Every structure is written in C-alpha cells, then in structure tokens.
Chains A and B, each alone.
Chain A
C-alpha cells in the first residue's frame, strides 16, 4: 500500500535537496523536477483505483482524527494530485531548455514547492493545514512571477503579492473565527458541528474564507492581479499558474462551500459571480493586442465558467465543472507552452507580429491551434464534451435562473471563439513579414506539447476515459455526510 503522505514528502525533500545538489553541479538542478513529478504521477496513478472504492484517511502523528492533522485521499484529491503531477511533469520537461537565464536552481526549487503546495491543498483534511499549503503555493508563485527580473515582472509580482497577502490574512481570520466557534480545525469535524452554530456567526467566517481563497481563484472582483502576473511570468510558469494555481483556488472554494459549510443558498450568488467573471474575462481578452494577456484574460473567463458549473450543485453540474477544469488545465497549459516559443523566436508579445508563423513554426502553431479550438469547444477536442456537459447540466435543472445564465455563458463562448479564431487565422492565412530566423521549437518543448495534444484529442474523442473518475470525485464533493463518516467514522 502506498502512503499518500509520500505525494507531499518526497517532492518537498527533493525541493530542498536542490540547493545542496547545485553545490556540486549546476546542471543537476533541472533534472530534479521531472524526477519528483514523475514519482508523484506514478503514486497518484497507483492510488487512484484504490481510492475510487474507499477514501484513504491518513492520520499524522499517531492520533485519531479530529485530534491530528489528517490527509484525505479521496477520488477528488487523488484526481487533482494526478493532474498536478501530469501537467507539472510535462511543463518541467519543457523548462529543461526554456529556462536558461538567471538563477536556474532557484527556479526549479520554487517550481517543485509550488506544485507541492498545490498537492498539499488538495489532499489535506485540516483547514489550517490547507492555509499553510496554500501559502507555500502563493509565496513560490510570487517569486516565480518576478523570476525574469524585468520591469513588468517585478511590478506585477508586487501587485500579486500585496493582493495575495491581504487575501490570505482574510482567510486566516476566517479560520480563527471557525476555531473560536467549534474548537477544532478538522474539516469533517467542523462540517459535523456547523448546524449547531447560529447562521450569522457561520456566515462571517464563510465570507472571509471565500474572499481570501477567491483572490487566488481569480473570481471576478478579486482578479486584478491575474492578467499582469500571468502575462509577465516566464511562459512555463504562466502555464502552471493558469493551468494549476487558479484551479487549486477554485478547488479550495468548492471544498469549503460544499464540504465544510454545505451552503446551498450561497451557490446562486456564486453562479452569478461565475457568469460575471466569464463575461468580463472574455470581453477584456477580445480587446487585447498582447498574446499572453489575451490568454490570461481567457483564463479568467474559463474560471468563471467552471465556477458557474460547480455552483449548479447537481451531480451533473459538478461533474461537468470538474471536466471543464481538466479541459482548461490541459488546453491552457498547451497554449502557453506553444506561445512561449513563438514569443521566444519572434521576440515580441504583440499578436500582429505572429503573422505567418504557421509556415515557420508549423508544429508549435498546430499545438496552439489545437489548444485554441479545444478551449472554444470544437468537437474532436476535450473542450467539446466538457462544455456540452455544462450546458446539459444547466438545462437539466429546469430553473429559469440557470437557463438564462447558461445563455450568457454561450455568449461568452462566442466572444472567445472570436478572438481565438482571429489569432489562428493570423497564424496561417496572413503572409507576414519576411523576417529570417524563426525556427521550430526544440525537441524538449515539442514532446510535452505533443503529449498534451494527444491527451486533448483522445479524451475529446472518448470522454468515458475520465467521466467515471469525475463522477466519483463529484459525488465526494456533494455528499457531506459520506465525507464526515469516512474521516470520523472510527469515533462515531
């Protein structure tokens, strides 16, 4: 039996081994992240079939829950840790050649720490532990945004840091209030006792926690940092921030609302916020000239759509939300990776400078096209089944509220198609200036892109591959009593 603690302990150990290793050789550092993340991928894959039957509860320190810090490796947690490890592994292979300047060993150390924090957030069953892992994720991403030490990177890292730090303080106040109310930090234990407190005294910590997490999840009024940070980070980091970091924030919001508070009435408000986030993101993306800012705003839009789908809160709705989350992670990571080398070769972030790149970098442009079509939701790619499921879930509720909102979401998708098709058209059908030079990306960049493309097409053609896992992950989110029983079962 593999212990889920290894998913956190091994990468953490390897991350802190990097400074020691780089004393001997500067070149070792960049091979550590692929090793750590392939280990995580293998362990998650080994755990996945087991946790689909029964969630694994790991108590740390030999105490029983709720007195110890515990890890809950349910279908949802292990699914997320597998996705984090998969995307992290592919992006770390990409970074082997992409990251050449600066203190590379620090880059690789922070990179592993970021992904370890993300894995910790999805596996933990203790709300303060969630805060700690969340901070590991946030602090390493602040540092990585500023990695290139350019003007724009530093400026956006400062913005990101200030907003993120205020957000995590709010989160900590919320956790303190919850501890004052219930005298416990275990999520299952809080969930069990939540009914015993008065609604008002629960509402205040809930709002504080959701606001705090919402900063990282980039929910609409709290997302001012995102386009700056995602567009000025190195492209490999943009891929991880867009593909993983904001999704983890969203996971934490969903976990807090569904499992801890069980707040059904709050969800209607979140659905509205989701659609607002979607429309704001897509409209801003439409008017961008900078390709990475366009992708960053598109991430805001996709986050809104996922939030909306999760807030439908039926079994269909949550499944489709998680599916959209997986689809966004794969497609957006691919888009940022493909864009990374286009920018590297042309030396410009402007969309208009990418004219005619389809002939000079055919493979990278093909990858970009697949990612763009998948995000828009064209049939052979993964975006199609996920968006289709969201629409079906919204219509299946038979409530006017959700039907109107899904109409607005479709409007957002049309805008999205508008700006993505414009870029794809520019890549292939415009002559472009005759500037010598742009060559195809190196093999270490093409292999991860190829794997992403294969995954996007295969899952898009045959969505049954993932829907079973997503279904049980969704039922873990929706059934609070099962979760409480699984964690505290030995005591009750």
Chain B
C-alpha cells in the first residue's frame, strides 16, 4: 500500500501517457487522434508536477512566516508545466483548425481514407 501511496501520481501520469499514445496510434478519426494528443499532454504535465511534489506540501512563499521550508514543494516544475500547458493549447488549437480545413477538402476525417501523399 505504501508503494501505491508514494507512486500513485507517477502511475497515473504514465497511464495517461500510454492511453494517449494508444489513441494516437490506433484510432482512425482525426478528432480522436487530437484528443489522444491532449491526453498525452495532460499525462506529461502531471508527470512534471509529480516530480516536484511533496505529500501535503505547501506553496513556497518565503515572505510569509510560519511555513516550514521542509514542506515546500519545488516551484520549478510548476513553472515548467505552465509553459507546457500553453504550448499544448497552441498545438491543439492549430491541430483543430487544420482538422476543419482537412474536412473542407476531403469531406472526411478518417485518416485511413486520406492518403494522397505516399513514399
């Protein structure tokens, strides 16, 4: 049980990453693939947060007295995740706008049917 308690976030994060990868590799519908990308992003973000997390930790605010520095969580991964979320939003927005264009051209979002470009 203690194993589960201390590693639950990592298990969750890699679970999400694997689900995302599975969706991207297996699904035929572009919208589902984009959802997979979103899940993959979420998994990576959760992983980054859990790298710096301490159980029952608090925010690292030094100006306020009474907070034990031992219990402060690492703020760097949180800054990274903020950046990564913004990047993820940009990629998803671009992907969705491309999906709209793709539908206008081909009349379908099934990636198995859209294969004009080949080796």
Contact = CB atoms under 8 A, between A and B. Distances in A.
Given A173-B47, A228-B117, A154 B40 contact: no
Interface residues of B, number: 35
B62 interface: no
Interface in A121-171: 128, 132, 135, 139, 142-143, 146, 149, 151-152, 154-159, 161-162, 165-166, 168-169
B30 interface: yes
A185 interface: yes
A411 B19 CA distance: 43
A158 B99 contact: yes
A154 B101 contact: yes
Contacts of A161: 91, 94-95, 98
Nearest to B40: A169
B51 A173 contact: no
B114 interface: yes
Nearest to B41: A169
Interface string A326-359: 0000000000000000000000000000000000
A176 interface: yes
A234 B117 CA distance: 16
B84 interface: yes
Contact of A172 (B84, B98, B106): B84
B98 A154 contact: yes
A168 B41 CA distance: 10
Contacts of B17: 169, 173
A185 B21 CA distance: 26
Contacts of B95: 158, 161-162, 165
In this complex, the member of A143, A159, A161, A169 whose beta carbon has the largest number of chain B beta carbons within 10 angstroms is A169
Given A139-B91, A161-B94, 6 more contacts: A132-B87, A154-B102, A155-B114, A176-B51, A185-B76, A284-B119
Interface in A90-109: none
A227 interface: yes
B48 A227 contact: no
At the interface, is chain B mostly helix, strand, loop or mixed? helix
Nearest to A164: B91
A232 interface: yes
B28 to A, nearest CB: 13
19 contacts: A132-B83, A139-B91, A142-B94, A154-B98, A154-B102, A154-B105, A155-B105, A155-B106, A155-B114, A158-B98, A158-B102, A161-B94, A161-B98, A162-B33, A165-B91, A166-B40, A172-B48, A173-B47, A176-B44
B80 interface: yes
B117 A139 contact: no
Given A161-B94, A284-B119, A176 B40 contact: no
B116 A152 contact: yes
Interface in A422-480: none
A232 B117 contact: yes
A179 interface: yes
B37 interface: yes
Contact of A146 (B37, B87, B101): B101
B1 interface: no
A180 interface: yes
Given A139-B90, A157-B98, A169-B41, A152 B117 contact: yes
A185 B77 CA distance: 10
Nearest to B117: A228
Given A135-B87, A161-B98, A155 B117 contact: yes
A176 B47 contact: yes
A176 B41 contact: no
A401 B102 CA distance: 47
Interface in B1-55: 17, 20-21, 24, 30, 33, 37, 40-41, 44, 47-48, 51-52
B84 to A, nearest CB: 6
Contact of B94 (A139, A156, A172): A139
A156 B119 CA distance: 12
Contacts of B44: 169, 172-173, 176
A142 B91 CA distance: 9
Contacts of B48: 172, 176, 179
Contacts of A151: 105-106, 116
B37 A162 contact: yes
Interface in A157-205: 157-159, 161-162, 165-166, 168-169, 172-173, 175-176, 179-180, 183, 185
Contacts of B37: 162, 165-166
A436 B60 CA distance: 73
A63 to B, nearest CB: 13
